[in-house]
């Protein structure tokens, strides 16, 4: 009797995965709406600090009005998806640096005598610290991470995976007080006011623990990358020409001098424009703000609005003047041709970004995420836990909430009126509560496809994929899971030890009050 052949395993295309996520979201919104799913959280009155109950309900898209929303807003959401426009602009700058030879020469000069693990650690550390520049760091360091490892004769996917882990898991830790921290502090003040309206804060409130966290997370990501991720990835095939040892010539050194000189002049002008109080200075700041960090990174500041263009112009200058020095750019035709180098074969990336933007906007519209976050707040507020059990509960609750709502500000707006009073009543400081929140969300940020910049990570994995099989959505998440497990456990242990010992979080700030 003739045996029937088993069908070959069919891989799920990453684009199809997003389609299924969209369909699942629409169906689930209809189910939860029919079940009248809702959750209530407390909003703080900014005048008298009274708690005002606010209810989050599910919006169904499994209906005629929901279908109308999808058809009428999907294109607009894609057009306004800042990931797309910012990526295209920044890729032009990276393109000219790469095509002119600037990146290859720079990487050769800076990494040739360093060990592989040292290069990985330094790059990861830079990615973690770059969180001060916000989410745009994803668009800068993911492409650069791929090229760093490519020119280092290693699989570019290593750089892509490590950079995304560092950017996402480092988004909530920085020894510098960032704009996001300032925004969170506003909600922390309000929530603290429900218990103690005279409590005072300072910008160095968690300086010490953040310095330790930055080094710990950078080290963990380096070890996980070199011992786990490298072994999971297939061998990357290089041509004989690509494997040849890179030697920096006199002409290339001359090009570096040209490039660095132009960058120094540009940066001097730029830095002068963000220093307040000097003649004709501070042009890029929002003068309506009080704190300098808000003047610099407030959404209304010229610096914040023009940051993508500022960085792109720096990249273009570096590539242009290096190209002039080594004569890889001889005329305006060479210059403009180089600008589009990194945009070659970007069609698949555009389709991915389109579906990702649709998925994110549809999920937000259903309000499923906010309902879940509000439910987490209720559990924490009603738990009655104190001490270490409360720390663990908040950490896990915030971590799970991050998977459904990556937005740092939205989650804290909902959760702070529940977490802050619970921790204050347990004898813990509001600064410790904010640190706990930041550590928890940053540990899980790298495994949610609802993060707008996750699609950039997936797209670049696919761009450098040499296999006939597509990089699957869930496969890209699997690469990130080891980072999440080890970092979350490490940061949780760090928080518990800091609390038990009573070490200062920052300047004159302690875990307990």
Domain boundaries, the chain: 32-501
The pLDDT value recorded for residue 296 is 77
Closest CA to 100 of 311, 330, 313: 330
Q: What is the pLDDT of residues 348-400, one digit of tens each?
A: 788 888 999 999 999 999 999 999 999 999 999 999 999 999 999 999 999 99
CA distances from 418 to 42, 191, 441 (A): 7, 8, 16
- Burial track 171-198 (b if 16+ CB lie within 10 A, e otherwise): bbbbbebbbbbbbbbebbbbbbbbeeee
Cα–chain-centroid distance for residue 229?
20
Q: How open is the CA angle 101-104-105, to the nearest 5 degrees?
A: 85
Task: Return phi, psi of residue 423, to 5°.
Answer: -75, -35
Instruction: Find the helix packing angle between 207-224 and 116-129, rounded to 10°.
Output: 140
Instruction: For residue 466, give both structure tokens.
Output: 């040499």
List the structure tokens of 450: 């609802």
Q: Are 221 and 124 in contact (CB under 8 A)?
A: yes
Residue the block writes with tokens 């994929």: 465
Instruction: Output DSSP code: residue 301.
Output: S
CA-derived radius of gyration, the chain? 24
Distance CA 282, CA 292 (A): 11
- Predicted confidence at residue 1, as pLDDT, reads 45
Is 157 in contact with 167 (CB distance < 8 Å)? no
Q: How far is residue 271 CA from its own chain's centroid?
A: 25
Task: Report yes or no: 446 and 478 within 8 Å, Cβ to Cβ.
Answer: no
Helix, strand, coil percentages for the chain (3-state, nearest 5):
70, 5, 25
Q: How many helices and strands, by DSSP H and E, does the chain display?
A: 23, 2
pLDDT at 336: 83
**Residue ranges in the chain whose pLDDT is less than 70:** 1-11, 341-345
Question: Phi and psi at residue 240, in whole multiples of 5°?
Answer: -60, -35
- pLDDT at position 364: 95
d(CA 458, CA 276): 40
Instruction: Give the pair of three-digit tokens for residue 11.
Output: 């891989």
Could you give the 3-state DSSP secondary structure of residue 409? helix
Determine the Cα–Cα distance for residues 484 and 297; give it in Å rounded to an integer: 28
> Distance of CA 214 to CAs 107, 138, 318, 504, Å?
24, 17, 29, 16
Tell me if 391 sits within 8 A of 436, measured CB to CB: yes
Q: What is the pLDDT of residue 173?
A: 92
Alpha helices of 302-367 — where are they, by DSSP H? 302-305, 307-326, 332-339, 347-366
Contact 217, 445 (CB under 8 A): no
Biggest CA-to-CA distance, the chain = 92
* Tally of CB atoms within 10 A around 224: 23
């Amino acid at each position: 009797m003739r045996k029937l052949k088993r069908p070959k395993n069919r891989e799920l295309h990453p684009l199809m995965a997003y389609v299924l996520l969209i369909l699942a979201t629409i169906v689930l919104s209809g189910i939860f709406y029919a079940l009248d799913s809702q959750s209530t959280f407390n909003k703080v009155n900014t005048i008298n600090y009274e708690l005002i109950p606010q209810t989050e309900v599910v919006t169904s898209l499994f209906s005629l009005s929901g279908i109308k929303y999808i058809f009428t807003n999907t294109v607009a959401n894609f057009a306004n998806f800042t990931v797309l426009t910012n990526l295209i602009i920044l890729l032009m700058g990276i393109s000219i640096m790469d095509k002119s030879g600037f990146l290859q020469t720079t990487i050769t000069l800076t990494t040739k005598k360093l060990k592989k693990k040292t290069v990985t650690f330094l790059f990861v550390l830079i990615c973690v610290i770059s969180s001060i520049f916000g989410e745009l760091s994803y668009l800068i360091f993911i492409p650069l991470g791929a090229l760093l490892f490519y020119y280092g004769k290693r699989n570019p996917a290593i750089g892509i995976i490590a950079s995304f882990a560092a950017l996402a898991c480092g988004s909530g830790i920085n020894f510098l007080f960032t704009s996001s921290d300032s925004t969170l502090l506003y909600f922390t003040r309000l929530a603290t006011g429900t218990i103690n309206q005279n409590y005072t804060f300072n910008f160095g409130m968690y300086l010490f623990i953040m310095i330790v966290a930055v080094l710990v997370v950078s080290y963990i990501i380096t070890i996980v990358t070199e011992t786990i991720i490298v072994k999971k990835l297939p061998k990357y095939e290089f041509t004989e020409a690509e494997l040849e040892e890179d030697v920096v010539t006199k002409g290339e050194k001359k090009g570096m001098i040209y490039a660095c000189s132009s960058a120094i002049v540009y940066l001097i002008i730029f830095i002068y424009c963000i220093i307040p109080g000097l003649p004709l200075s501070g042009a890029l700041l929002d003068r309506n703000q009080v704190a300098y960090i808000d003047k610099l990174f407030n959404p209304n500041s010229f610096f914040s609005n023009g940051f993508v263009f500022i960085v792109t112009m720096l990249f273009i200058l570096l590539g242009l003047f290096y190209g002039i020095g080594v004569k890889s750019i001889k005329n305006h035709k060479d210059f403009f041709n180089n600008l589009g180098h990194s945009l070659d074969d970007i069609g698949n990336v555009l389709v991915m970004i389109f579906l990702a933007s649709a998925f994110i906007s549809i999920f937000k519209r259903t309000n499923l995420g906010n309902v879940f976050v509000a439910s987490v707040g209720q559990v924490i507020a009603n738990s009655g836990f104190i001490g270490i059990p409360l720390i663990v509960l908040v950490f896990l609750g915030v971590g799970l909430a991050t998977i459904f709502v990556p937005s740092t500000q939205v989650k804290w707006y909902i959760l702070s009126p529940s977490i802050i009073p619970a921790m204050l009543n347990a004898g813990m400081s509001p600064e410790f509560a904010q640190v706990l929140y930041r550590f928890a969300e940053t540990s899980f940020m790298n495994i949610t496809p609802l993060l707008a910049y996750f699609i950039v990570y997936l797209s670049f994995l696919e761009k450098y994929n040499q296999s006939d099989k597509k990089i699957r959505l869930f496969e890209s998440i699997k690469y990130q899971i080891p980072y999440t497990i080890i970092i979350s456990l490490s940061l949780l242990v760090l928080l518990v030890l800091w609390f038990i010992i009573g070490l200062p979080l920052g300047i004159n700030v302690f875990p307990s009050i």
